């Protein structure tokens, strides 16, 4: 399967009792996104009354997910000290290809994430997370994060080439976006095959033949929240789920618990869908 994007509500962690617990849950979400090579995750505001301030909650979720996706050697450069990140020390490492160990991806031809430290007179100095800094003959915006290819080591620096992240040939992390509503988030993915998850959807086993036959190249999967499912969120926006999604799927029929948490549904759903369409 090609590209996969995930839509999650701003009420995602609203059932947590503390910021510590919220951060822990978002660490689980980040791991699930990385395990199944999700390219984009959109946090949409679902207007759930259990959330006092959806803008603030969205900012919190997006910041923690972006922090988790950022290689450790760049985090201090990209994230100032802030209350939102108080408990990020409990986040599990992703260990994706763009999160290398010190002894990895340090030879010519390797790709790394970098941050522009200084830019002047047509060249830029970059932090690579290595003993040596990187240099490119391009003037780049200071503080910008870029993907680079190590070309050759020249004395105490690496000559590097800025490349698109898609050019690495490996899973290179997820992008985090935010949208004002579920409808707005879905509309971003016009050409994607759109799946909504719901306990009232069809069982995945009933859709196996059609999914395998279609083998969608680009897939978008939307999830509801801890207090309201996707159908309720659609109603809240005055929309019908059938207008927004090609399929409504129940990936956990016969569940042994009263409710399945969103982070649990995310892991189970992505595992099942990847098995069906790859």
Q: For residue 137, is it within any domain?
A: yes
Q: Are residues 258 and 187 in the same domain?
A: yes
Q: Are both 82 and 125 inside the same structural domain?
A: no
For residue range 29-46, what is the model confidence (pLDDT) as tens digits?
999 999 999 999 999 999
The pTM (predicted TM-score) of the whole model is: 0.94
**Cβ of 76: how many Cβ atoms within 10 Å?**
12
Q: Token digits for 137? A: 């003959």
Q: What is the mean pLDDT of residues 190-203?
A: 90
Q: How far apart are CA 130 and CA 17, in angstroms?
A: 39
Co-location of 82 and 156 in the same domain: no
Nearest Cα neighbor of 161 from 131, 124, 130 is: 124
C-alpha 240/C-alpha 9 separation (Å) is 17
Mind listing the pLDDT tens digit for each residue in 92-125?
999 999 999 888 999 999 999 999 999 998 899 9
The answer to whether position 105 is within a domain reads: no
Q: Give the mean model confidence (pLDDT) for residues 206-226.
A: 81
State pLDDT tens for residues 129-156.
999 999 999 999 999 999 999 999 999 9
How far is Cα of residue 124 from the mean position of the Cα atoms in its chain? 28
- In the beta sheet, which residues pair with residue 145? 115
**Could you tell me the CATH number of the domain that includes residue 54?**
3.40.1280.10
180 and 210 co-located in one domain? yes
Judgement on whether residues 267 and 178 belong to the same structural domain of the protein: yes
Task: Give the residue numbers spanning the domain of 84.
Answer: 3-95+173-277
- Give the 3-state secondary structure of residue 236: helix
CATH number assigned to the domain comprising residue 161: 2.40.50.140
Q: Which of 168, 186, 205 is the last residue of a domain?
A: 168
Residue where one domain finishes, among candidates 168, 200, 216: 168
Residues 135 and 75 in one domain: no
Which of 168, 186, 214 represents a domain boundary (last residue)? Answer: 168
* 20 part of a folded domain: yes
Total domain count, the chain: 2
Distances (CA, A) of 1 to 35, 51, 80, 185, 193: 14, 35, 37, 21, 12
Among 28, 41, 34, 159, which residue's Cα sits nearest to residue 98?
34
For residues 142 and 227, membership in a common domain is answered with no
User: What does the alpha-carbon distance between residue 33 and residue 41 come to, in Å, rounded to a whole number?
Assistant: 8
**In whole angstroms, what is the distance from residue 261 CA to residue 25 CA?**
10
| Pair 180, 268 in one domain | yes
């Amino acid at each position: 399967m090609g590209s996969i994007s995930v839509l999650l509500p701003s009420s995602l962690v609203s059932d947590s009792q503390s910021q510590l617990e919220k951060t822990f849950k978002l660490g689980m979400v980040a791991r699930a996104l990385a395990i199944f090579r999700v390219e984009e995750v959109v946090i949409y505001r679902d207007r759930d009354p259990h959330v006092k301030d959806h803008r603030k909650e969205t900012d919190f979720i997006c910041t923690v997910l972006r922090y988790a996706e950022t290689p450790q050697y760049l985090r201090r450069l990209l994230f100032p000290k802030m209350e939102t990140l108080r408990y990020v020390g409990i986040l599990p490492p992703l260990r994706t290809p763009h999160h290398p160990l010190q002894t990895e991806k340090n030879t010519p031809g390797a790709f790394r994430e970098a941050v522009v430290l200084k830019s002047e007179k047509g060249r830029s100095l970059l932090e690579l997370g290595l003993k040596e800094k990187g240099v490119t003959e391009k003037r780049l915006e200071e503080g910008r994060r870029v993907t680079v290819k190590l070309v050759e080591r020249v004395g105490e620096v690496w000559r590097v080439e800025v490349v698109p992240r898609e050019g690495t040939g490996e899973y290179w992390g997820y992008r985090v976006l935010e949208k004002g509503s579920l409808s707005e988030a879905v509309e971003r993915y016009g050409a994607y095959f759109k799946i909504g998850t719901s306990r009232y959807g069809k069982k995945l086993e009933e859709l196996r033949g059609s999914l395998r036959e279609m083998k969608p190249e680009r897939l978008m999967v939307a999830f509801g929240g801890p207090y309201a499912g996707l159908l309720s969120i659609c109603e809240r926006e005055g929309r019908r789920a059938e207008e927004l999604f090609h399929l409504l799927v129940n990936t956990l029929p016969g569940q042994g618990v009263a409710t399945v948490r969103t982070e649990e549904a995310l892991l189970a759903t992505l595992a099942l869908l990847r098995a069906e369409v790859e």
